[in-house]
Structure 1
Amino acid sequence: MITDIITWIVGTISSLGYLGIFILMLIESSFIPFPSEVIMIPAGYLASKGEMNMLAVIGCGILGSLVGALINYYLAIRLGRPLLLEYGKYVMFKEHHLLKMESFFARHGHISTFTGRLIPMIRQYISIPAGLARMNLPVFCFYTSLGAGIWVIILSLLGYFIGENETLIKEYLRDIIIALVLSCAIGITLYWFYQRRNNH
C-alpha cells in the first residue's frame, strides 16, 4: 500500500509539476497530517533524472510549507483564541494562560518556531500556538521558512542521491531525524543559558 501511495505521489508530481509539490507541501504543513517525506524525496528523485529543476523543487517545497503554516497561524487567530477564551475554562485553560503564551512567543517565538519545524509530529502544529500568541508575522514567516527550508533540502537531497533505495532512505532518514532532534535540544539548552545569563 505504501508503494502504491508513493507511486501515486510521484505520478501526481510528474503530472502537476512544481504546482503539485507546492499543493502537497501546503497540505502537509497545514492541519492535515501528511508526511513530507513522501513528497520531497520523490521530487528530488525526479530532479536526479532531469525531469525537474532541483532549485525549483526546493523553492516550491519551502513556499508550500510556509503557506500551509500561515493557514494554521490565521486559523488559530480567528478560531482558536475565541474558542479558548470561551471554552478553555472547562479544561483549566484561563485567559492568563493565553497571556503567558503570548508573552513567551513574544520573547522566544523565533527559537520555538525554528526548532519546531525540524521536529517530527511538531512541525505541522507549531504554527498554532504561534497564531494563538499573535507572534510577529514577519518573524514567524522568516523562521518558519528557515526551519522548513532545512527539512525540505535534506529530503530533496536524499531523493536526488538515493531515491531508488528505499531501505537506505529509511536508514538515513532515521539518523537525520535523531541528529536534528539532538541538535534542537542542544540549541534550546544553549539558548536558555544565554537568556538566563543576560537576565542576570
Structure 2
Amino acid sequence: MLEKLLAAVAGWIIAVIASMGYGGIVLLMAIESACIPLPSEIIMPFAGFLVSKGDLTLWGIALAGAVGCVLGSIPAYYVGLYGGRPLAEKFGKYVLISNKDLDMADRWFANHGEIIIFVARLLPAVRTFIAFPAGVARMNMTRFVVYTFVGSLIWCFVLGYVGMKAGEHWEDLKVYFHESHYVIAALGLIFVAWYVRRHFKNEAA
C-alpha cells in the first residue's frame, strides 16, 4: 500500500513538472519547504533531465527551485514566530516532523546561530523543517530569506545538474534502465521511504 502511494506521489511530481515547467518547480519546491515531505530528490533531478532535452535551462530550474523554497519557508517561519514550539509540536506529526527533529533543529540553531539556515538548506530532511526554529528565535526576515534563497539555490542547482548529466548520457545509461522517469522516481521513493521510517523511529524513541 505504501509503495503504491509513494509511486503515485512520484508520478504526480513528474507530471506537474512536465506540464507546468518552471511554475511547476516553484509550486513543488514551495510545498517541500512548507514542511511537507515532498522530496526535492525527485523534483530537481527530473527538472534537470528536462534541461538535457532542451525544454528548460539549468539556471532557470535552480532559480525556480530556490524561489519556491523561499515561498514555502515563509509560512513555516511564521508558524514558529507566532505559534512557537507548542504549535510546531501539535501539527508537526501530521507532516512527519517529530519532536526529536524539532529538538535537533533548535539545538543546531542555538549552537551555530543564523548561518545554520543556510547550511541546513544543503542537507536532506532537516532542510524541510529548519524554518520553524528561525521563526521561534525571531530571526531577521531579510537574513532568513537571503540564507534560504542562497542555500536552496545551491541545493537545487546540484540536484538539477545531476539530472541534466544523467539525461545527457542517457544513451549509455538506458542499457541499464528502460525509462528515465522510473529511475528518478525510484531514487526519490527510496528517500521518502527512509524519511517515513526515520520519522516513526524518532517517534518511538
Q: TM-score, normalising length from structure 2?
A: 0.65
Task: Choose from 118, 123, 126 the match for 2:127.
Answer: 123
Structure 1 residue 22, shift from structure 2 partner? 0.4
Q: Identity, % of aligned pairs?
A: 40
Q: Does 1:50 align with 2:83?
A: no
Structure 1 residues 20 and 50, CA, compared in 2 at 3 Å: closer, same or farther?
same
Corresponding residue for 1:144?
148
Summarize the Cα distance change of 1:48–1:4 in structure 2 as closer, same or farther, 3 Å threshold: farther
- Could you list the structure 1 runs, at least 4 aligned residues long, displaced by more than 3 angstroms after superposition: 1-8, 81-84, 163-167
* CA distance in structure 2 between the aligned counterparts of 1:7 and 1:53, rounded to whole angstroms: 22
- How far did residue 9 of structure 1 move? 2.3
Equivalence for 1:155: 159
Question: Partner of 1:90 in structure 2?
Answer: none
CA–CA separation in structure 2 for the residues paired with 1:77 and 1:45: 38
| Structure possessing the higher radius of gyration over alpha carbons | 1
Higher relative contact order (CA 8 A, sep 6+): 2
Q: Deviations over 1:52-79 (max 9, x none)?
A: 1222211110000111111110111122
1:69-116 deviation line (CA, Å, top 9, x unaligned) = 1111011112226759xxxxxxxxxxxxxxxx7xx66x9433211111
Q: What residue ranges of structure 1 are gaps of 5+ in the alignment?
A: 85-100, 175-200
What count of residue pairs does the alignment treat as equivalent?
151
Provide the aligned C-alpha RMSD in A.
Answer: 2.7
The TM-score, its normalising length taken from structure 1, stands at 0.66
CA deviation vs aligned residue, 1:14-71 (integer Å, no higher than 9, x gap): 2112111000000011121111011010001001101112222111100001111111
Give the 5 Å matches for 1:54-93: 54-80=58-84
